[in-house]
Every structure is written in C-alpha cells, then in structure tokens.
A and B are shown apart, each in its own frame.
Chain A
C-alpha cells in the first residue's frame, strides 16, 4: 500500500466530510454552537404493551398549554390505530383504538414545550364546587381530627396547606395519617390525600402531575404537587416544603386523580417519558431563514430519530472522538495505559458520576480490588475462576459504595453502578500482573496513565460544543477517520521517546 494511496484516501474523506459540513453551515445555516438558552424542549411519551388479540383502547392524558409552558406540534405515532383527542376543563386526553391487535405494541406521543411567561392576571373564574370526599368509619374520624388539627394550627390557606403537607411528609407520621395513608402510595397518593383533606376542610384543591424540564433524560420521573384555590385563582404548592409556588421548570402534564395512561385489551403496560433539548428548533428556523424546502439532508439526519435514539447517538458519536484521542495519546504522546480503548469506556462512565467523583470511585474500587486480587493470588486459583472472583468482589464493592453513598446522601453513589465492571475487573487483573512482573512503579505509571487519559477524554467528550458539533454534523467523523488513517502511518518519534532517548543526545554533546 503506497503512501500516495493513503494520502489520497485521507484527502477524499476530508473533502467529503468538510464539504458536507460547510454546505450545512454556510448554505443551510446550521448552528455551529449549541444555543446557550434552551427554552424549547422535546417531550415524548412512549407506551408499550402486549395486545391480547381483542379490541384495544389506550387513553393517555396529554399536556396542554399553561401559563408557564406552551405546548406545540403534538405528534402521535401509532400504526393502524384510530386516534381521537378530547379536552375538558382540566385536561386533554388522547385515545387510541383498534379493533384487533396482537403482540408487542408501541405508541408514541411527542410535543414541543416552549417556556413562556404569561404575566397578565387570568380572568377570575367561578370558584369551583367542592365534592366532599367520602370516608368511612375510623378513616372519617381520622380525617376529621386531621382537619381540626391543621385548622387550629394555621391562620390562612397558605399556612394550612403548609401544615398539612408537613404532617403528611413526616418521616414518622402520627396514627391518623398512617391510617389514612394506608390505601395511598407514593408522593402521588400523599397529594391525593392532601386534596381530599383540604376538600373536607372546605378548601378546593386538586393534584397536578408533571415532569421537570431540567436535564435531558430518557426516563423522566413524574412529580406531583398540589393546587389550591384561593384569592380567586388556583395556586400551586410545593409538594415537599408546602410553601406556595413551584419551580418554573415543572411542566404540568395532567390534573386531578386518575392514572396517566389507561389500557383495555392488553397487558404489561409500560410508559416512559423522555425529555430532550430541542436543538432542531434552531436548525428549523435556520432552514426557514434560508428560504428552502426541508432538504433531504435534514429528513435523513439523526434528528429524524425518536428522542430516545437521539440521546443514545449523542453518546455513541463521542466514542470515535475518544478513540481518536487514544490514538494521539498512544502513538504521538506515547502514554501507556491499560487496554487499548479502556480509558474511553472509563470516560463514558465518568459521564454518570462527574469527573472528580468518578476518578475517586474508580481509584477506590481498583485499589480495593487489587488488595483482594493479591489475597486471591495466595490461594493459587486458576485464571478464569480468579477473574470471576474479582468480578464478584468488584460488583459487591460497587454495591457497598452505592449504599454508603446513599446513606451519606450522595446521589453520585447510585450512579457508580453504571461503571463498566468487567472493564474494571480486567484493569485490576492487568494491573496486578504488571505489578508483579514489572514492579509497582510500572503498574502505577500505567494506572495513572489510564486515569489521565480517561479524564482528558471525559473533558473533551463531555463538552457541549463538541457533542453538538458531532451530533449536528456527523460527517465530521469522516475527517476524524482521515486523521486516524494518517496517524496510522505516523513514523515520527513519540513524545515520551524523546525523554527516553535523551541520554543519547547528552552522551553525544
């Protein structure tokens, strides 16, 4: 293979990659940097279930525009299903129906939520009617005494709601509340109960369910809070502190009792809500500015994928970047590390834990694992059982760290579980072998090399600009490929070799 061939190939790849990139930036005006202020979010609900070969009906509450969020561009994806949407005073609902369906079914709802702030006061509505909840026997007494309690300890609606929520959220609630909560579960149950108690006290209240628009996530969790009618409007109350007002990034999904999704004619119902930043919005407006029809390039870009897959690709596209950095670190710098691409995987794991916590956790687990490995060495085990034993210990260690971290109140402790444990096991094994054969110095050198490489790669692939660049312009990977191919024939010195051979230069001088 001649060098000319190589250069030609690299040139070709670079040309194709760069021209696509330039076309998209200069002609289509795709944004080069992520927009600093995100005020548009993509929200998606994915419903999956097993149909039982009979008529299927799925109803799902869908969000409606509120004073904080405008819901735009509803989209429903459902093959062969009839779809109708309906709205009442409180909610909007989508209903999918089909005469007969069999096997795994997936339905999607997607919309854009744009943050808005409506300042002008809402036209005062009629005060809502209160439907008194029905409690029976001992529960009625408990509810009545709870109402008396909060009444006596409060001065107005605000303080009454605060007191009620404080009582409900106590780690060890009193007997009355325990009795009342027996039938309710979770935060949603507590809020339901709160609404009922307030109704009993003559204060109109309802539960609101929603999600937080804060970080892109593939599994958004529902949050529940309370809305109480007073001073001629519905006012939200924080579900934890009980104070009036909720964070702005809480987006209302539906109000009132009842589950988010209902299904007849199927089983194994599952619902996932995902949230992503809408990068495409900027691109869309760019396309509109350019006064052209949506070109094929956009239709067939990564943006056409479901949000869930988009999230995966945001991460996946960073792997080649990490691999390229490894090529540079190894062949140009001469850094020694365990495993060819292990630092890349470690860097991906750092995404979950953040850098500092990640480095500390990694060093702790590998360090402790090494101790165990040295002990196992004395037992003279065969290779595969020994590796399996180290793996088991690694998983146990990770579990311990998670539990300890959780007890201390560190969220990070939980995400350690996503560390690639097989990689860690192999690291421990390699490190201990290097330790024995080349001495602790060499083992530490390679260990530190691995962590340094992982940290550097983390900093690069965690950078939002880099992520944006490769997600919006995946053709840049071709340029990366060209660079990698060229480095594949790099025959110059490595940076560390200059250090290694420097004695020769001195000897001469």
Chain B
C-alpha cells in the first residue's frame, strides 16, 4: 500500500486532495466559477474574444418557451441539446437528422417532439445542472468530427482536453467515445482517454475504465502514433482560456470540426485526474515547473512554446 503511494509520489501523480487543496482552491477564485459553469456565458465571452465556438441556434430559458421549440428548431436538420450548467456531459442529446416527423439521435433511436420537449423540461428544472439549480437549455451546431479520428471513435465526437495552469498548457488528452460511452466523450461514462504528446500532438497510450490499453475497444485500431491536426492552434486556444476565464487551473475542452477547424467547447474549473493515466505521467512536476517559471514567460506565444519544449514525452 505504502509502496504504491511512494511510487506514485515519485512519478508526481496528483491526487484529488492535492488538486483541490493546492490548485483549484488556491488558483480558482470562487467568483469565477459561474462563468465556466454556464456554457452560455462561456460561449458569449469566447465569441467576444474571437475564439471560434460551435454556433448557438436556440436558447430555452423558460418553461413556456418550450411550446415554440418545434418552430424554432425547424430550420435546423441537426443539432445538439445541452444544459447550460451540465456537468460531465450529462443531459446532452445529439440529434443528427429527422425521419417521419421525429428526431433521430446519433445512436439511431427516434424520439418524438414530445420526448424532446420533456428532455428540455428536465434540463430547465435542473435535473442535470450542478446543484440542481433551474437551468437553461442550449441548442447548438452539431460538430462533425475531423475524419482523422474516424477509426478511433465509435459514434460521437472526440474532443481534446488540455490542462492549462497559469496560462501554460501542462498536459493534453484525446477523449474518444466508445460503444460503452454511448457516443459521449466523458471518461467516467466509458469514453477512452488517449494521452497526447504536448510537443508534437501525437497520441500516446490510452486509459479506458482505469486500465491502460493499446487499441480502441470497439474499432480495434491502434491508438498511439496518430497526429492530431492543428496542434499549435489547439494549444494556443487552450492557453487563451486562461485570460478568457481568469482561472489559474483549468481544463479546456476543444473539438476539431471537419469544416470549421478547432472549436472551443467548454472550460472546466475542476478537471479530472485520469489525464495522468492516459499520459502515463504525473501532473505535479509540470505544474511545479510552471509555478516556478511562469513569471519569465511573456505572452501567449512564449507560453505555448514553453509547454511544447518542456512537456514533450519521449516518443
């Protein structure tokens, strides 16, 4: 038992207690949380700063507006329904088309307008929101994943999670949906996390359900050695998340759209720790190095360059 603890300490693996006590509590002022917990506000600020995001179609804020939902959605063949204050991908519905007057989910299941309305009601009543607060429902552009990831994901949209500390990218992970995760890219829902070399943007090993694996469980494809396109842009967008949110310790979620390129999906003030398993490497050393050297870094470009030069894995 203590042997494991000592080895983990040697590797610089960070536990939840340390993340909370020394990073989120110290570097993330509570007053900034509403900004990142509300996807609508995150989106607004990102647009103001010129960071590309999935286009917002419809916002439902009140129960009575649900009556008009069918009409509002009429122009859009496909879209994603999200709670503004959702956590961990809960409550997200991906509509990828229509058939016989019904909506078709990404999984192929058809749902009626009534079922969609009920889902929106559930979102509004706070079923999926942090702390059960009344919430808003967003309907936005459905991302078409870059074909690079086609062989590596089972339905759904893979996304890229980058941990940014004091504006410097510290670690990255590609989150790949699996059959078990029902197209969702959240690890606790059964998605697969592949570490990404910060220097090159090439995937490393992967973690799935607490286990280290080499191939995608559904497609059988080898996970390591895949180049994530637009790597420099992705890192830069992630690093900008610091100025955008003011949060010192931050998880930035990005997607690569086939047509629109990198898009900012959301910011996370309490990013999880499985990313360390995906990378086979601890966060703590990197965070301590950033803590020590960040005053010497001027500007966005230097911060990204620093990350690429110091945090590359030996491939």
Contacts and interface: CB of A to CB of B under 8 A. Distances in A.
A118 B247 CA distance: 79
A501 B13 contact: yes
Given A384-B125, A500-B210, A504-B11, 6 more contacts: A380-B118, A493-B13, A498-B5, A503-B207, A504-B13, A508-B7
A503 B277 contact: yes
Nearest to B119: A380
Interface string A493-507: 111011011111101
Interface stretch (B15-23, B97-105, B160-168): B15-23
Contacts of B211: 503
A498 B16 contact: no
A508 B212 CA distance: 11
Number of contact residues on B: which range applies? 20 to 34
A489 interface: yes
A498 B4 contact: yes
Contacts of A502: 4
Contacts of A508: 7, 11, 280
A492 B4 contact: no
A504 B8 contact: yes
B210 A503 contact: yes
Contacts of B13: 493, 501, 504
Given A437-B189, A502-B4, A508-B7, A497 B15 contact: yes
Interface in B2-56: 4-5, 7-8, 11, 13, 15-18, 20-22
B122 interface: yes
Interface of A: 331, 334, 380, 382-384, 433, 437-438, 488-495, 497-498, 500-505, 507-508
A270 to B, nearest CB: 41
A383 B127 contact: yes
A330 to B, nearest CB: 10
Contacts of B127: 383, 433
B268 interface: no
Contacts of B115: 380
| Most chain A CB atoms below 10 A, which of B7, B20, B121, B127 | B7
28 contacts: A380-B115, A380-B118, A382-B121, A382-B125, A383-B127, A433-B127, A438-B188, A438-B189, A490-B17, A490-B21, A492-B15, A492-B18, A493-B8, A493-B15, A494-B17, A498-B8, A500-B210, A501-B8, A501-B276, A503-B207, A504-B276, A504-B277, A505-B7, A505-B11, A507-B212, A507-B280, A508-B7, A508-B280
Contacts of A437: 90, 189
Interface in B121-157: 121-122, 125-127, 132
Contact of B4 (A438, A489, A505): A505
A241 to B, nearest CB: 57
A493 B125 contact: no
Contacts of B126: 383
A491 B15 contact: yes
Interface string B67-90: 000000000000000000000001
B293 interface: no
Nearest to A487: B17
Contacts of A495: 1
Nearest to B22: A491
B290 to A, nearest CB: 18
Contacts of A501: 4, 8, 13, 276-277
A490 B7 CA distance: 19
5 closest Cβ pairs, A-B complex:
A491-B18, A383-B125, A493-B15, A491-B21, A380-B118
Contacts of A494: 15-17
Interface string B175-209: 00000000000001100000000000000010100
A491 B17 contact: yes
Contacts of B277: 501, 503-504
Contacts of A384: 125
A492 B4 CA distance: 13
Given A438-B189, A503-B211, A489 B276 contact: no
A503 B16 contact: no
A6 B283 CA distance: 26
Interface of B: 1, 4-5, 7-8, 11, 13, 15-18, 20-22, 90, 115, 118, 121-122, 125-127, 132, 188-189, 205, 207, 210-212, 276-277, 280
| Most chain B CB atoms below 10 A, which of A331, A380, A492, A497 | A497
A385 to B, nearest CB: 10
A501 B127 CA distance: 31
Contacts of B280: 504, 507-508
Contacts of A489: 21
Nearest to B190: A439
Contacts of A498: 1, 4-5, 8
A383 B119 CA distance: 11
Contacts of B276: 501, 504
Contact of B17 (A380, A433, A438, A493): A493
B8 A505 contact: yes
A493 B5 contact: yes
Contacts of B20: 491
Nearest to B9: A493
Nearest to A382: B125
B194 to A, nearest CB: 15
A162 to B, nearest CB: 64
A326 B46 CA distance: 40
Nearest to B15: A493
| Most chain A CB atoms below 10 A, which of B1, B8, B118, B211 | B8
Contacts of A500: 210
A490 B220 CA distance: 41
Contacts of A334: 16
A501 B1 CA distance: 12
B111 to A, nearest CB: 12
A464 B17 CA distance: 33
Contacts of B122: 382-383
A71 B188 CA distance: 66
Contacts of A383: 122, 125-127, 132
A349 B8 CA distance: 40
A1 B166 CA distance: 20
A45 B93 CA distance: 64
A504 B15 CA distance: 13
A33 to B, nearest CB: 33
A438 B181 CA distance: 9
A490 B18 CA distance: 7
Contacts of B15: 491-494, 497
Nearest to B23: A491
A508 B3 CA distance: 13
A508 B6 CA distance: 13
Nearest to B2: A498
A163 B7 CA distance: 80
A500 B8 CA distance: 11
A426 to B, nearest CB: 10
A490 B21 CA distance: 7
B314 to A, nearest CB: 14
Given A501-B277, A502-B4, A492 B17 contact: yes
A494 B132 CA distance: 27
A384 B17 CA distance: 34
A377 to B, nearest CB: 10
| Most chain A CB atoms below 10 A, which of B15, B22, B212, B276 | B15
Contacts of A433: 127
